[in-house]
Structure 1
C-alpha cells in the first residue's frame, strides 16, 4: 500500500489558504491589533473571539467574570471558538486563556493554523497597564500575574504550529514576521 508523503513544512505553513489562522498568546501581546492588520494584508475576514463572546452573552467579559466566574466564561469561550473555526479562511484573535482549554486547543491544532504571539513580560506589562478592563488583573500587580500566567501557559502556547515574537516593535513588524512564517510571499 502506498502512503502519501508527510506534508512538507511549506504545506503546513500554507494552511492559511484553506483554514482559519488563530492567534494565541498572553494578554497584551497584540492578538487583536495584529490580527486585524494580518487579515487585511491577506484579504481575509477578521474575528475577535472576545467580541463574539460579549455579543453572545450580551455583556462585557468583565461582567461575565464578575457575575458567573471564570469557569463559566471559559465554557462560553470554547463554544464560540468552536463555532468560529468553521473551515473557512479567516484570522481569529483569541483571549489569552482560550488555548489553555484542552478541547479548544485540540480543535485549533487540528482545524486551524495556530500562531503563538510571544513577547517579553516587561513589554506585556507596559501594554496591559494602558487598559484596566482585564478581569485577571483587577486589583493585582500585572507583572506578577503575567509571570504566573506565562509559567503555566507558555508550555501550552508552545504547541502552536508557529511562534512569532511581538516585542517592542511596531505591530506591522509582527505582521511582516507572520507573513514570512506562513510563506505568504511565495503564495
Structure 2
C-alpha cells in the first residue's frame, strides 16, 4: 500500500513526501523515486530517534519489543537502501524547522524548485 501511495505522490506536482522507513527498503523503490525526485536520507542516531517516535504510539514494528533494539535491527537491515539516496542530511542536532529549511534548500539547489 505504501509503495502505491508513493508512486501516486511521485506522479503528481512537486512536493515534499516523507514515507515510512519501510518504503525505501522495498526493491526498486529508491531507484524509481530517483528518476523523478530528489531523495534525501534524513539521518539520525537510534538514541535520538527512539524518544522522538516514543510519543507517537503508531509504529507497529516497534510495539511489544524494546524499541531501541528493534530500531537498531531495522536500521541495520534498511540503511543500505537509505544510503542510495541522492544526498544525506544529518538531523541529529536540528529542530524539525531547521530540517525542513535544509530540505527546501536542497530541493532548490538540486531540483530547481
| TM tier relative to shorter chain | 0.7 to 0.9
Tell me by how many angstroms 1:175 deviates.
Answer: 2.1
Match of residue 22 from structure 2: 97
Show structure 2 runs of 5+ residues with no match. Answer: none
Match of residue 136 from structure 1: 61
Show structure 1 runs of 5+ residues with no match. Answer: 1-75
Match of residue 148 from structure 1: 73
Q: How far apart, in 2, do the equivalents of 1:126 and 1:159 lie?
A: 26
| Contact 2:23–2:29 under 8 Å retained in 1 | yes
Q: How far apart, in 2, do the equivalents of 1:103 and 1:79 lie?
A: 13
Tell me whether 1:82 sits opposite 2:32 in the alignment: no
2:8 partner SS: helix
Report the TM-score, using the length of structure 1 for normalisation.
0.54
Residues 85/181 of structure 1: CA separation in 2 closer, same or farther (3 Å cut):
closer
Runs of 4+ in 1 over 6 A off after TM superposition: none
Report the TM-score, using the length of structure 2 for normalisation.
0.86
Q: In terms of Rg, which structure is larger?
A: 1
| Contact 2:41–2:87 under 8 Å retained in 1 | yes
**Aligned with residue 123 of structure 1, among 44, 48, 60:** 48
Q: How far apart, in 1, do the equivalents of 2:53 and 2:93 lie?
A: 13
| Contact 2:40–2:89 under 8 Å retained in 1 | yes
